[in-house]
Chain A
Amino acid sequence: MLPVVDPPQRDAYATPKIDAAVAARWLVAFLRDECIGRRGIKNAVIGLSGGVDSAVTAYLCARALGPQNVHLIRMPYRLSSPASLEDAQLVIDALGAAGHTVDISAAVDGYLQYEPDADPRRRGNVLARTRMLVLFDQSVKFAALPIGTGNKTERLLGYFTWHADDTPPINPLGDLLKTQVWELARYLGVPTPIIEKAPSADLEANQTDEGDLGIRYPRADAILSSMLLGYRHEQLVARGFDAAEVTLVRGRVDGTHWKRHLPTTAMLTDTAINEFYLRPVDY
């Protein structure tokens, strides 16, 4: 009998790999180029939620710009989890960056008092947009560039507030899936409680991302990785993915293409911006 050499067990749901050291080095170079090289801005402001995405962004910015040039803004609402504030403080302490706290309760409630019937979704969007308003104003105050923290998974699934979370002019994590952000966080030394806790937008009590999405991040990331290469539904199922999960993920992606674009502008002339009149973003 000849020995049999088999390929590694096929696992459709295997976590998409990254080399965290390479990714970190590349993202630090990106941040230096965008902030200092392209714009001549030495400082960054980051909305620090207590979650892993903003923590990783803070660690990368501290490496790229120096922790003394990184302003980490905590923006709690009166119903936010106290644990989020505490986790954010772990990052501020670990990095030695400047920490600031801006309570958005008065601003949010100042508007929502006129909208008592607003459902949780509307209230969540008001929180997110208020935080971005604060972040951009703080960026002027500190002569800093606002840095986005959204990851690829939430961008693809449309799990963000349009023109809020996605507003900053640069985004180091936007091409990293959530599971890859976790791996990068471990490499960078982000405090373990932040990596291991259930991801949450913290817009409502006991809210979790995975509860909202209806799928675990590792499973969504595995499906997205193959789906983005061009595999169709039946091809994904043939490769071992659960049909219902594929349907769920594809439905979210297909239903949110608009959220990953600028507003649709009616074209009326042959000099329409970004249609006829085309210039690169860094021109």
Chain B
Amino acid sequence: MQSDSQAAPARIALVQSKPRKGAYVENLAALRAVFAQLAALDAPPQLLVLPEAALTGYFLEGAVYESARSAERFGHELSSLWRDVAGQRPVEIVAGFYEVDNGSYYNSAIWLALDERETRILHVHRKLFLPTYGVFDEERFLSRGNRVQVFESPLLGATALLICEDVWHSMVPTIAALKGARSIVVPSAAPGRGIDGEGELVSVARWRELLRGIAMEHGCFVLYAGLAGFEGGKGMTGSSCAIGPDGTMLVQADADDACIVRAEIFLDDVEIARANLPLLGDLRAVLPDLLSDEELPRLRGRDDASGC
């Protein structure tokens, strides 16, 4: 639990990328220019968050097998890119990618920590909920992850990394918060729809309500990086944003183009938010009773759980 006061805010950059479909090498080169732009800022960000499928585009169908990389390779490519333009300047990088691991394919996101001496893969999250309905067809090509893990980011402290539909199931960010997460970082690719809203697509408004609700209920920061650009007529809705632990929208990008969204956050706002709205503490107290309800689906035994 981090409780010490923070002398300066943490500097975040959400990179709302607009990749060309399947053009990994070309997109990596474009990211190099973005990294150079960020590294040249007076106060360069300490954490970069890129969207889901940031360097390939989202709707790949069977081409996912051609674009997938191992986490180690993807991490090496990203870290090399940063070191090329920023030298040994420390940074943490989060990005979504299609992962291959021993013949299985996942929709994953990697969290890298680069310091003067080394690059570490702090975490790889494999998307739990693979939308396979309507316009989506993920589970035809990909395997599911099966764990919500909380890990220590040097910058943010206890953090969870979730992908897109993962956060539409309120249970998932709840588990992350119960496991100690103070920040939830969400790379995403959200095709926009719904034209009967007020001044924006309905799906954009729903995402915002959802993310603000997560932040407010659990008293945690939510950092959301959304993919931008059209993919075969389906427009990704960007709208990358940073939300404070009281649900305040700190900054949000427009839906429709590539950009860099900057945010500065005081992590000790979490203590304040949780003291003023202690829902997470209340849940901890009642959760054992809720989970012992015999009408709930039976929990799998450990032996039944499939490996990641």
B276 A230 Cβ-Cβ under 8 A: yes
List the B side residues contacting A10 at CB < 8 Å: 264
Of chain A, the residue at the smallest CB distance from B254 is A5
B259 A1 Cβ-Cβ under 8 A: no
A2 B37 Cβ-Cβ under 8 A: yes
List the B side residues contacting A229 at CB < 8 Å: 272, 276
**Interface-lining segment among B4-12, B88-96, B164-172:** B4-12
The 8 A CB mask of A1-32 against B (1 = contact, 0 = none) is 11111111010000000000000000000000
A6 B268 Cβ-Cβ under 8 A: no
CA distance A239 to B33 in the complex (A): 32
Of chain A, the residue at the smallest CB distance from B253 is A5
- A7's partner among B6, B7, B242 (CB-CB below 8 A) is B242
- Taking the nearest CB of chain B, how far is it from the CB of A123, in angstroms? 41
List the A side residues contacting B266 at CB < 8 Å: 235, 238-239
- B34's partner among A2, A5, A230 (CB-CB below 8 A) is A2
- B264's partner among A7, A232, A235 (CB-CB below 8 A) is A7
List the B side residues contacting A232 at CB < 8 Å: 5
Segment 224-283 of A: residues with Cβ below 8 Å from B? 229-232, 234-235, 238-239
Of chain B, the residue at the smallest CB distance from A10 is B264
List the A side residues contacting B7 at CB < 8 Å: 234, 238
CA distance A198 to B287 in the complex (A): 54
Known: A5-B259, A10-B264, A230-B272. A235 touches B5 (CB 8 A): yes
Segment 7-23 of B: residues with Cβ below 8 Å from A? 7-9, 15
The 8 A CB mask of B240-256 against A (1 = contact, 0 = none) is 00100000001111100
- A2's partner among B242, B250, B260, B272 (CB-CB below 8 A) is B260
Count of inter-chain pairs, beta carbons less than 8 A: 54
B276 A3 Cβ-Cβ under 8 A: no
List the A side residues contacting B5 at CB < 8 Å: 232, 234-235, 238
List the A side residues contacting B253 at CB < 8 Å: 5
B251 A5 Cβ-Cβ under 8 A: yes
B212 at the interface (CB under 8 A from A): no
List the B side residues contacting A234 at CB < 8 Å: 5, 7
A2 B258 Cβ-Cβ under 8 A: yes
CA distance A3 to B261 in the complex (A): 9
Choose among A4, A234, A239 the residue with the greatest number of B CB atoms under 10 Å from its CB: A4
- Taking the nearest CB of chain A, how far is it from the CB of B291, in angstroms? 31
- B261's partner among A5, A8, A235, A238 (CB-CB below 8 A) is A5
B121 at the interface (CB under 8 A from A): no
B263 at the interface (CB under 8 A from A): yes
List the B side residues contacting A4 at CB < 8 Å: 259-262
Counting chain B residues whose Cβ lies within 8 A of the other chain, the interface size class is 20 to 34
Counting chain A residues whose Cβ lies within 8 A of the other chain, the interface size class is 10 to 19
- Taking the nearest CB of chain A, how far is it from the CB of B239, in angstroms? 11
B25 at the interface (CB under 8 A from A): no
- Taking the nearest CB of chain A, how far is it from the CB of B170, in angstroms? 26
CA distance A230 to B260 in the complex (A): 32
- Taking the nearest CB of chain B, how far is it from the CB of A232, in angstroms? 6
- Taking the nearest CB of chain B, how far is it from the CB of A180, in angstroms? 18
B275 at the interface (CB under 8 A from A): yes
B260 A5 Cβ-Cβ under 8 A: yes
List the A side residues contacting B254 at CB < 8 Å: 5
- Taking the nearest CB of chain B, how far is it from the CB of A194, in angstroms? 33
CA distance A234 to B266 in the complex (A): 12
List the A side residues contacting B34 at CB < 8 Å: 2
List the A side residues contacting B268 at CB < 8 Å: 235
- A5's partner among B9, B262, B272 (CB-CB below 8 A) is B262
List the A side residues contacting B252 at CB < 8 Å: 5
Segment 124-138 of A: residues with Cβ below 8 Å from B? none
CA distance A103 to B136 in the complex (A): 79
- A6's partner among B251, B257, B272 (CB-CB below 8 A) is B251
CA distance A229 to B248 in the complex (A): 14
- Taking the nearest CB of chain A, how far is it from the CB of B227, in angstroms? 14
List the B side residues contacting A5 at CB < 8 Å: 251-254, 259-262
CA distance A229 to B271 in the complex (A): 10
- Taking the nearest CB of chain A, how far is it from the CB of B156, in angstroms? 17
CA distance A6 to B45 in the complex (A): 12
CA distance A5 to B228 in the complex (A): 14
B8 A3 Cβ-Cβ under 8 A: no
- Taking the nearest CB of chain B, how far is it from the CB of A23, in angstroms? 20
List the A side residues contacting B271 at CB < 8 Å: 230
List the A side residues contacting B258 at CB < 8 Å: 2
A230 B259 Cβ-Cβ under 8 A: no
List the A side residues contacting B264 at CB < 8 Å: 7, 10
Known: A2-B34, A229-B276, A232-B5. A7 touches B260 (CB 8 A): no
11 contacts between A and B (CB under 8 A): A1-B33, A1-B37, A2-B259, A5-B261, A6-B262, A229-B276, A231-B272, A234-B7, A235-B6, A238-B8, A238-B266
Please list the residues of chain A having a beta carbon within 8 angstroms of any beta carbon in chain B: 1-8, 10, 229-232, 234-235, 238-239
List 3 tightest A-B contacts by C-beta distance, closest first. A7-B251, A234-B5, A5-B261
Known pairs A4-B262, A234-B5, A239-B266. 12 more at Cβ < 8 A?
Answer: A1-B33, A2-B15, A4-B260, A5-B253, A5-B261, A7-B262, A7-B263, A7-B264, A229-B276, A235-B6, A238-B5, A238-B8
